[in-house]
Amino acid sequence: MAVHHAWSADDIGDQTGRRVVITGGNGGLGSITARVLAEKGASVVLACRDLVKAAEVADSIDGDVTVAELDLADLASIGAYAHQQGQFDVLINNAGLMNTPFRRTVDGFEMQFGVNHLGHFALTALLMDRIGDRVVTLSSIAHAHTPKLWINDLNYDGRPYQRNLAYAQSKLANLMFARELERRLMAAGSPVRSYGVHPGVSGTDLFARTETFFDRVGVFGARVVGHEPVKAAESSLFAATENVDPTVFWGPTGLLIQSRGPVRAARSTALSQSKAMWARLWAKSEAMTGIKFVIPQADQGMDVKGGDHVANA
C-alpha cells in the first residue's frame, strides 16, 4: 500500500477474525489502540501489570476485549503469560516507561531498558511460534537522543545513570530490535512481518511518571508540540492493519522533530540502521534474558490468520 493521503483510523478495514495482543493497554495509546481495533471487529487481549485499570478499560470498550496479567519487569511473569497465550495474529509491543528514577527490574535490569526493550524482546521470543501475521514495536523520536548504544553496559552497571539517556537507549533498542526481527523473518521465509513505529509526541500519562517537577509541565509541553493521543495511536494502528513496507520507520513527520502529523515514512538515525549493531544487541538481549530467540521456518506450518499478509518489500 502506497501512502498518498493523510491516513487515519477511519481507513481501517474490517478486523473481524483477527486476534491482537497489546502490552500496556490499560491506559494511554494502548487503550486507544485497543478500542479502535475492537470497534473494527478484532478480538483484543490487554496484557498488563495493572489488572484493575486494564479491566476498567476493557469494560468501557464495546467489543471483544479481555485482560491478562503481564509484568514486563519480571521474566517469570512474561514466561507465565506466554505459556497460556494461544495462537493470535498481531503483537503490539506498546508498554513503556519514560525518564523514570533509577530502579531495577525483578531480574536486575535497569528498569527502562528492562521493560521497554528486554521485556518485549523476551515476550516476542516466547510467543513467536504463535504469531500469525505481524509484530509492531513502538520506538520513539527519542531514539535519536543518544549518541551511542552502550552495548557493553546496557544495564548501567559501570556508568552514572542518566534517565533521559536510559530512555533514549531503550527506544533505540526497540527500533533496532524491530529491524533485526524483520531481517531474520525475511531470511527464514516467514510470512510474519515486523514493524518499528513511533507515535510522535502526545500528552499521555507517560509524561507524568518521572517523579520530578517535570511531571507538572511534561503533559502540557507535549500537548503544545505534539498531537492528541487518538492521532498518536494511528502509527500503531497503521502498522497493525495495513500492508506496507516493514523496513520503513512509520510515524508522524510534522515539525522538525517529527512530533505530530499523519503517518508517513519517518527519519531515523544512522546508528539505528546499523545491521552490525542490530546483531550485537540481539546477542546481548539473548544473553541477558537467557532466552534463545528462535524464528520458525516457513515450512513449519505457522497458523496464519487475518487475511492478506504484508507484501515483502
Cα–Cα distance between 85 and 64 in angstroms, integer?
A: 16
* pLDDT at residue 308 in the model: 35
How far is C-alpha 144 from the geometric centre of its chain's CA atoms? 17
Residue range 243-269: average pLDDT? Answer: 93
- pLDDT exceeding 90 applies to what percent of the chain? 81
Is the predicted pLDDT of residue 246 greater than 90, yes or no?
yes
Nearest to 228 by CA among 256, 249, 267, 259: 259
pLDDT tens for each residue of 199-238: 999 755 544 444 554 445 445 444 555 668 899 999 999 9
| Phi, psi angles (nearest 5°) of residue 262 | -70, 165
- Helix-strand-coil split of the chain, %, nearest 5: 45, 15, 40
Q: How confident is the model at residue 302 (pLDDT cuts 50, 70, 90)?
A: very low
* CATH architecture group of domain 10-300: 3-Layer(aba) Sandwich (3.40)
A 10 A CB-CB count for 157 gives 9
pLDDT digit string, tens, across residues 134-174: 999 999 999 999 999 999 999 999 999 999 999 999 999 99
Q: What is the pTM of this model?
A: 0.89
Hunting for cell 520458525 — which residue is that?
296
Confidence of residue 254 (pLDDT cuts 50, 70, 90): confident
- Select which of 81, 156, 167, 195 is catalytic: 167
Strands (DSSP E) contained in the chain are: 19-23, 43-48, 65-69, 88-93, 131-138, 193-197, 250-254, 260-265
Residues 6+ away with beta carbon under 8 Å from 219? 203, 204, 205, 207, 208
Answer whether 151's CB lies under 8 Å from 174's CB.
Answer: no
Residue 5's pLDDT band (boundaries 50, 70, 90)? confident
Q: Is residue 195 among the annotated active site residues? A: no
